[in-house]
Structure 1
């Protein structure tokens, strides 16, 4: 059994080295992904803020249009009553 254990040790060490290399590669990829995300986020944040402002403007315009429509409907009813 001592011979088998000696043969297994180098294989286990080799496998551990392979796994460590894979882990190192994955850690590099994760680091690169984090950097990419950090670089992209300011652009996305800026675009989101711009869209949010446009949405707010359109919402205000829609609200004003709804009020105007309501006024016109009332005027229309008044004119019908006069006729």
Structure 2
């Protein structure tokens, strides 16, 4: 019994030693993460400061794309209307042809 109790004591001491090591490692990793996040933030800020013309060009192109998308949507609606009118006119034409053929 004494041997197994001793093992439990040794395991408990090992866990107490490992816990601070794990906590220290976790704290170090968190410091590294914080440093990387700060670095990324600085990179974004630098990019915006050094490339304002790219940001404005991107915005201009985005607006142009939106404009073209609206025009495309309007064109699709117009095409749909024209197809519908075309079908109506075709049906009317066929009916007129049928009447004309009967008169002959």
When the two structures are superposed, what TM-score results if normalisation uses the length of structure 2? 0.48
Give the structure 2 partner of residue 36 of structure 1: 85
Give the structure 2 partner of residue 15 of structure 1: 64
Measured in 2, the distance between the counterparts of 1:49 and 1:2 equals 70
Residues 26-65 of structure 1: pairs in structure 2 closer than 5 A: 26-54=75-103, 57=104
1:40 CA drift (Å): 2.0
The CA deviation string for residues 13-33 of structure 1, in whole angstroms up to 9 with x for no partner, is 000000110110011000011
1:5 CA drift (Å): 0.7
Task: Tell me how many residue pairs correspond in the alignment.
Answer: 55
> Which ranges of structure 1 fall in alignment gaps of 5 or more residues?
58-83
1:46 CA drift (Å): 1.2
Flag as ranges the 4+ runs of structure 1 deviating above 6 A.
none
> Which ranges of structure 2 fall in alignment gaps of 5 or more residues?
1-49
When the two structures are superposed, what TM-score results if normalisation uses the length of structure 1? 0.58
